[in-house]
Amino acid sequence: MKTKKDVITDGKTKTIIKGEQPGTCVLETKDILTGGDAAKRAEFKDIGKWKTTQTANIFNYLKKKGVETSFIKQFSDNSLLCYECEMLPLELVSRRFAWGSFLKRMPKFKKEDGTPYRFEQIRTEFFHKKSVIAAPLTDKPYQLEEGDARNLYLKDGVWEKGVYTDPYIHIENGRWYLYPGKETFVQNQPLMETPALLNKEEVNHVVNELMLPIFKYLEEAWDNVETKDGKVALVDMKIEIGRRKVDNKLVIADVIDNDSWRIWPGADPKKQLDKQCFRDGHPAGEITEKYKLVAELTGKW
């Protein structure tokens, strides 16, 4: 029986519970998918089980490659035993292809023939998890937890003007500036400055020792997966990082599951196996089948 005291966080898709050993926690995944900053939300039978299996498979694979994570082991069908971390309010995105919100910020990468632009060198980006509240809601922009922004400014699935969820972080001379995440990037016109969450050495470490190797390992693993539509292209992915409470080490934490990336068999956007099918309103059965398939495929790594 879990008591209220044991719950560290009750999030949109997971509940984090104190583990029995000090410095550990249990990530329990709900049978829920969310999209559009949780403007869209639905329940899917067994999806928590498939997502848990995916994260366990992926973190076990990364462990074999020597990447340190917060993951200890799978705890039950829908939960993982992890090291508890002091999470940083960041989403770290790595991209092989220009797609999704990237094209909104950088429309010049949009190709006329509709095929995605391929980055020779993986492109890395940081986003802040705290939303920005700006004009016309206020003269002095400030940051707010996404949940609080949602309670105040999401009405019938539509955000009020002036709310910027997951703002893009542009780092210049060690200072961190926030820009709209889903509008054209205009240099020198940030929404606001935000305190730097990592120093220069830590930024380098995060990019070169975590984001890039992790992307390459997973891209390679997917490249070896043959489906009826061809090999699977890893288009982009998101990770979160935190400092493990046991040793203060900065590691990849949270989860990597089918919500975390775009994966396209045969490099075809219409064949996507990831959460995009939910965002696009595909039938529930098809969505669950895709999550199950990804759990099975990552199990071979």
Ligand X SMILES: Nc1ncnc2c1ncn2[C@@H]1O[C@H](COP(=O)(O)OP(=O)(O)OP(=O)(O)O)[C@@H](O)[C@H]1O
Residues that bind ligand X (CB under 6 A): 9, 11-14, 16, 25, 27, 70, 82, 84-85, 87, 129, 146, 240, 242, 253-254
Q: H helices within 9-137, ranges in order?
A: 47-64, 101-105
Q: How far is the CB of 102 from ligand X (least distance, A)?
A: 19
Separation between Cα atoms, residue 70 and residue 228, nearest integer Å: 34
Q: Identify any residues that bridge with 154 across adjacent strands, giving them in sequence order.
A: 159
Judged by beta carbon, residue 72 or residue 212, the one nearer ligand X is 72
Q: How far is the CB of 238 from ligand X (least distance, A)?
A: 10
Judged by beta carbon, residue 42 or residue 106, the one nearer ligand X is 42
Q: H helices within 188-283, ranges in order?
A: 200-205, 212-223, 276-279
Q: Identify any residues that bridge with 168 across adjacent strands, giving them in sequence order.
A: 127, 179
Separation between Cα atoms, residue 11 and residue 34, nearest integer Å: 11
Q: How far is the CB of 72 from ligand X (least distance, A)?
A: 10
Judged by beta carbon, residue 52 or residue 264, the one nearer ligand X is 52
Q: In this structure, how many other beta carbons lie within 10 angstroms of the beta carbon of residue 297?
A: 19
Judged by beta carbon, residue 105 or residue 130, the one nearer ligand X is 130
Q: How far is the CB of 14 from ligand X (least distance, A)?
A: 4
Q: How far is the CB of 94 from ligand X (least distance, A)?
A: 18
Judged by beta carbon, residue 98 or residue 250, the one nearer ligand X is 250
Using CB positions, name the residue nearest to ligand X. Answer: 11
Contact 154, 39 (CB under 8 A): yes
Tokens representing residue 45 in the block: 């039978």
